[in-house]
Amino acid sequence: MQPIYDFTGKVALVTGASRGIGLATAKAFAESGASVVLADRDEATLAAAVAQLTAAGHTAIAVPCDVAVEAQAQALVERAVATFGRLDMAYNNAGILGPWGPVTDETEAGFDDVHAVNLKGIWACMKHELIQMEKQGGGAIVNCSSLGGLVGLPNRAAYHSSKHGVLGLTKCAALDVATKNIRVNAVCPGTIDTPMGDGIDEAMLKEIMREQSIGRLGRAEEIAAAVLWLCSDGASLVLGVGLPVDGGFTVH
């Protein structure tokens, strides 16, 4: 059973929102009464996602955005505020897996691509979300890290280092705004049944699932439920955390 929140009159922004965890979270915000801004760099799937929400009677807009470009992240936040007048909640979810292989095989270009989206992209979005939230006097932000932000695995140096960085960004930003009625936290999903998860090497997936104690893949809606809780008044004393939602992977 999903928890029920009343976000009527509030505005939520979700990046990487055209599918998977991002779309599930956008839907959850919308079903809780929020107006939702969906952002993604894949314009076709983004348009389809927004059409799905508006057809169900929800208020949502699409904003194409490459979060790795700060000017686009800034324009995203400005579009949200121009359309709805404020920004109450944000889930910075956009991320990529990047290449697999030992660190000695990683290329500079591959490393830079992963960090541009997974780390710089969250920094850029969070920066401009915080600027707006400080102006209006409050808000809540959740960044998407990963179990890869809490542990190390072989052949994943670029990805895991980017996700470790997300937790560092989250902690520092949370302290920057702790007295300004703004909370910044992160979720650390385990292996989730999403299109992004389809890109995981089969041998690596088997290895991961041996450690995911619950014995199954997670569902995108389970991550969405954690994000909404962190944005709700129920988490009013929670800030700067990296919340594992990983079926017990990091308990080991």
Q: From 194, 185, 188, select the one nearest 146 (Cα to Cα).
A: 188
Q: Tell me how far CA of residue 103 lies from CA of 26, 114, 116, 139, 204, in angstroms.
A: 35, 13, 18, 38, 16
Q: Is the pTM of this model over 0.75?
A: yes
Number of C-beta neighbours around residue 14 at 10 A? 32
pLDDT tens string 116-166:
999 999 999 999 999 999 999 999 999 999 999 999 988 999 999 999 999
Q: From 163, 77, 78, 154, select the one nearest 117 (Cα to Cα).
A: 163
Which residue in 7, 29, 100, 159 is the catalytic one?
159
* pLDDT (mean) for 8-22: 98
pLDDT tens string 37-57:
999 999 999 999 999 999 999
| Alpha-carbon span 58 to 221, nearest angstrom | 18
The percent of residues in the chain predicted with pLDDT above 90, rounded, is 84
The pLDDT of residue 100 is above 90: no
| Alpha-carbon span 37 to 222, nearest angstrom | 21
E strand or H helix at 68:
none
Number of C-beta neighbours around residue 8 at 10 A? 9
pLDDT of res. 25:
98
pLDDT tens string 57-86:
999 999 999 999 999 999 999 999 999 999
Q: Are 30 and 58 in contact (CB under 8 A)?
A: yes
Q: Which of 102-106, 123-127, 145-149, 246-250 has the lowest mean pLDDT?
A: 246-250
Q: Band of the pLDDT at 2, cuts 50, 70, 90?
A: low
Q: How far is CA 166 from the centre of its chain?
A: 10
Side-chain half-sphere CA neighbours of 11 within 13 A: 19
Structure-model confidence comparison of residues 20 and 249, the more confident one: 20
Query: Does 159 qualify as catalytic in the annotation?
Result: yes
Compute, in degrees rounded to 10, the torsion defined by CA atoms 142, 43, 59, 83: 80
Which residues are within 8 A (CB) of 101 and not within 5 positions of it... i.e. 6 or more apart?
155
pLDDT tens string 162-220:
999 999 999 999 999 999 999 999 999 998 987 766 666 677 777 777 778 888 889 99
pLDDT of res. 234:
96
pLDDT of res. 198:
63
